[in-house]
Amino acid sequence: MSDWGPVFVSLVLFVLLTPGLLFQLPGRSRCVEFGNFQTSAAAVLIHSLLYFAFICVLLLAIKVHLCLLCKVMAADWGPVVISVVLFVLLSPGLLFQLPAKGRVVAFGSMQTSGLSILVHTIIFFGLITIFLLAIGVHIYSG
């Protein structure tokens, strides 16, 4: 039976912690800026660390699962590693922004928009679903 818990948790955290959507830490001119649709390498690093911390708590400590017949085994680091890597790679504006202002794609623009966040979230959902449910990537500790 498929466990949608890691997919759901990863997706919600991706949206909530995307730099520039709700907040950006550090901001460009302040310590924290809210809803500025900007990003930077430092902000992606800080938000990635926050993402890692939250996903570890939710998936490893609290063990969020969304299935009826899931057999809980040892700590599975697969969803944590895959989702953190995808969070960094798909943070709008860091490596690329799809769509960008005035063009289809921009590389390293350090900007984002509501539409870019939506498109990157859809890509994130597709990839995390493939890695966790279709392929079934697992990394067990201990």
Q: Residue 87: is its pLDDT beyond 70?
A: yes
pLDDT at position 71, please?
65
Domain ranges of the chain: 5-135
pLDDT at position 46, please?
97
**Type of residue found at 132:** L
Which of 60, 18, 61 has its CA nearest to residue 39?
18
pLDDT at position 69, please?
63
pLDDT at position 96, please?
96
- The per-residue pLDDT of the chain, averaged, comes to 91
Q: Residue 63: is its pLDDT beyond 80?
A: yes
Q: Residue 116: is its pLDDT beyond 90?
A: yes
State the burial class of residue 14 (Cβ atoms within 10 Å of its Cβ: 0-12, 13-18, 19+). Answer: buried
Cross-strand bridge partners of residue 24: 33
pLDDT at position 72, please?
60
Q: Residue 68: is its pLDDT beyond 80?
A: no
For the entire predicted model, the pTM comes to 0.88
